[in-house]
Amino acid sequence: MRVAESLNRALHEVLAEDPSVRVLGEDVLDPYGGAFKITKGLSSRFPGRVLATPISENGIVGVAGGLALAGGKAIVEIMFSDFVALAFDQIVNFASKSVSMYGRPLRLPLIVRCPSGGGRGYGPTHSQSLQKHFIGVPGLAVYEVSPFDDHRELFGEMLALGEPCLLFEDKILYTRRLFGDGVADDLFQYDLLPGSGGVTRVYVDDPGQADCVIIAPGGVAHRALAAMRTLLLEREISCLLLVPRRLYPFDVTPLSPLLERAGAVVVAEESTAGGTWGAEVAHQVHSRLWGRLRRPVSLVHSAAGVIPAAAHLERDVLVQDTAIVRAVQELLT
Partner 1 sequence: MTELRVPKLNNNDTEYLLVEWLAEDGAGVVKGDPVVVLETSKAAEELMAEADGVLRRTAETGATCRPGDVIAHISDGSAPPPSATDPGAATDGTAAPPAADGSAPPPAADPGPIVTAPAQALIDEHGVDPARIRALGKKVIKRADVLALLETGTGDAQPLPPVQRAVAAAVTRSHQTIPAAFTAVKLDAGPAIARARALGKEARALIGLPELLVAAVASLHGQFPMCFAEPVGADPLAVRPSTAPNVGVTVDVGHGLYVPVLRDAGRLSVKEIAERLAAYRTKAAQGAFREDDLAGGNIVVTLHTDTAVLLAVPIVFPGQTCALSLCAPQHEFALDPAGNVVKRTTVTLGLAFDHRLVNGREAAMFLNAIRKAITP
Q: How far is the CB of 234 from partner 1 (least distance, A)?
A: 5
Q: Give the whole-angstrom CA distance, residue 84 versus residue 48.
A: 24
Q: Give the whole-angstrom CA distance, residue 129 versus residue 114.
A: 9
Q: Give the whole-angstrom CA distance, residue 120 versus residue 274.
A: 24
Stretch that binds partner 1, among 100-108, 138-146, 173-181, 260-268 (CB under 8 A): 173-181
Q: How far is the CB of 315 from partner 1 (least distance, A)?
A: 13
Beta bridge partners of 164: 110
**SS3 state of residue 105:** coil
185 contributes a contact to partner 1 by CB under 8 A: yes
Q: Give the whole-angstrom CA distance, residue 112 versus residue 77.
A: 6
To the query of whether residue 12 is one of the catalytic residues in this protein, the response is no
Count of beta carbons in the 10 Å neighbourhood of residue 213: 26
* Region label for 48, one of left (φ > 0), alpha (ψ between -120 and 50) or beta (otherwise): left
Nearer to partner 1 among residue 148 and residue 248 (C-beta): 148
Nearer to partner 1 among residue 118 and residue 278 (C-beta): 118
Which one of residues 30, 35, 52, 100 is an interface residue with partner 1 (CB under 8 A)?
35
Which one of residues 36, 83, 168, 248 is an interface residue with partner 1 (CB under 8 A)?
36
Please give the residues from 246 up to 305 whose contact with partner 1 meets the rule CB under 8 A.
none
Sign of CA dihedral 322, 324, 325, 326: positive
- Is residue 222 within 8 Å of residue 268, measured between CB atoms? no
Stretch that binds partner 1, among 33-41, 95-103, 245-253, 261-269 (CB under 8 A): 33-41
- Is residue 130 within 8 Å of residue 81, measured between CB atoms? yes
Which one of residues 17, 153, 191, 205 is an interface residue with partner 1 (CB under 8 A)?
205
52 contributes a contact to partner 1 by CB under 8 A: no
Q: Give the whole-angstrom CA distance, residue 243 versus residue 215.
A: 6
Count of beta carbons in the 10 Å neighbourhood of residue 294: 12
Which one from 12, 126, 301, 312 is the annotated catalytic residue? 126
Which one of residues 101, 233, 303, 306 is an interface residue with partner 1 (CB under 8 A)?
233
Nearer to partner 1 among residue 31 and residue 274 (C-beta): 31
- Is residue 26 within 8 Å of residue 86, measured between CB atoms? no
Count of beta carbons in the 10 Å neighbourhood of residue 234: 9
315 contributes a contact to partner 1 by CB under 8 A: no
Please give the residues from 90 up to 129 whose contact with partner 1 meets the rule CB under 8 A.
120-122, 126
Pairing of strands 239-244, 21-25: unpaired
Q: How far is the CB of 279 from partner 1 (least distance, A)?
A: 29
Q: How far is the CB of 23 from partner 1 (least distance, A)?
A: 18
Q: How far is the CB of 158 from partner 1 (least distance, A)?
A: 24
List of residues contacting partner 1 (CB under 8 A)? 2, 4, 35-37, 120-122, 126, 174-177, 185-187, 204-205, 222, 225, 232-236
Catalytic machinery residues: 126
